[in-house]
Amino acid sequence: MRKISVLLCLAAVLLLSGCAKEKLVTKPCGFDVRIEWVRSSKLQFTVKADNENATYVYGIMLLDDSDMSTWSDERLMEWQLEWMMDTYELMQEEQDEDDAPLSPFYQLFCFKGSRTIKETLLSPGCNYQVLVFQVNPETLKAIGPLYRVPFTTVPMEKKDITFTLQNYGDSFTIIPSDPEADWFWEYETEEKIDDVYDAPFFFFYNIIDMYDEYDFLSHLLCKGPEEWRFPEDDPSIREGENYILTIATITNGEISSDVSYAEFNFQDGRLTFTYNDFPVENMVE
């Protein structure tokens, strides 16, 4: 499994990589934090520091049903830094001998300069805050005040749509219960999903997010039944390999139903499904 996937490290606060360590700034500076856009599960915002050499971190805090919303700014900053350090220690523990050396803490969790930041895997229709504060990368202590910017993700009505897969041995057909719904499917080797994405949901989410970011998703959506033949439609399919197929409906570029998945093997030119959480009908003996 991938070592400490950023996706699985999501808690109340989300932190990503950034910053160099050239000039140490310990004098408090101001930050201009602005929301650019918000969707059901995604957010993009900008951070501009008065001093481009100031080191800072950011987080996303869920306000709904969270005791953290009542915490003081000082307690929030202290907790966030402790969470970051605990995460870094866990990353160190998960290092294998043949892994590349882990980057220093400040390179993984700190930022410098003006940034445009995108966050994903948020919950629809929920209240959040972006948190930004300056830190000393050497002592890992907060400097100055905590900057908070509230936002609310767009509500999304979950679609109650099911899928049925008909297996014809050398091909399959996916049939949605609603022929007018937009939906998407993709598969990958079980090994890659385990090593890179950790779980089928994160694989599917990342694929959707990537295609949406490059404005390509709308060209790939399906409507009605979809047939796929092996190896004609996928010459790269490998004999004896285990694959995981994922599927869900898509609305406005985001997942709008449960992500279903099935595991299959391709051997001697035939498909065999070994697990499925949606109906799979074998049409041939």
pLDDT tens per residue across span 29-48: 999 999 999 999 999 999 99
pLDDT mean across residues, the chain: 90
Interval 124-146 mean pLDDT = 95
For residues 112 and 61, membership in a common domain is answered with yes
Tell me how far apart the alpha carbons of residues 182 and 201 are, in angstroms, rounded to a whole number.
18
Cβ partners under 8 Å of residue 102, min gap 6: 91, 92, 95, 108
Cβ partners under 8 Å of residue 32, min gap 6: 46, 47, 48
- The domain boundary, picked from 152, 174, 199, lies at 152
99 vs 160, which has greater pLDDT? 160
What does the pLDDT read at residue 243? 97
Q: What is the CATH number of the domain that holds 146?
A: 2.60.40.10
- The domain boundary, picked from 102, 126, 152, lies at 152
**Which of these ranges, 8-17, 76-85, 119-128, 245-254, has the smallest mean pLDDT?**
8-17
Identify whether 157 is part of a domain.
no
For residues 268 and 235, membership in a common domain is answered with yes
- The domain boundary, picked from 132, 152, 172, lies at 152
Is pLDDT of 3 > 60? no
pLDDT tens per residue across span 174-226: 999 999 999 999 999 999 999 999 999 999 999 999 999 999 999 999 999 99
For residues 211 and 142, membership in a common domain is answered with no
Identify whether 18 is part of a domain.
no
| E-strand stretches of the chain | 31-38, 43-49, 55-62, 111-112, 115-119, 127-136, 141-152, 163-167, 171-176, 182-189, 222-223, 226-229, 241-251, 254-255, 260-267, 270-276, 280-282
For residues 137 and 168, membership in a common domain is answered with no
For residues 119 and 56, membership in a common domain is answered with yes
pLDDT band at 22, cuts 50/70/90?
low
Is pLDDT of 82 > 60? yes
Is pLDDT of 93 > 80? yes
Is pLDDT of 101 > 90? no
Identify whether 13 is part of a domain.
no
For residues 123 and 171, membership in a common domain is answered with no
Whether pTM exceeds 0.95: no
For residues 211 and 273, membership in a common domain is answered with yes
Domain coverage including residue 53: 31-152
Identify whether 200 is part of a domain.
yes
Interval 79-89 mean pLDDT = 92
For residues 116 and 168, membership in a common domain is answered with no
- Please give the share of the chain, as a percent, with pLDDT higher than 70: 92
Q: How many domains does the chain have?
A: 2
Is pLDDT of 2 > 90? no
Is pLDDT of 10 > 80? no
For residues 123 and 202, membership in a common domain is answered with no
What does the pLDDT read at residue 98? 75
Q: What is the CATH number of the domain that holds 230?
A: 2.60.40
Identify whether 257 is part of a domain.
yes
Identify whether 108 is part of a domain.
yes
- Please say whether the beta carbons of 130 and 149 come within 8 A: yes
Identify whether 194 is part of a domain.
yes
For residues 143 and 180, membership in a common domain is answered with no
For residues 175 and 265, membership in a common domain is answered with yes
For residues 136 and 186, membership in a common domain is answered with no
Identify whether 5 is part of a domain.
no
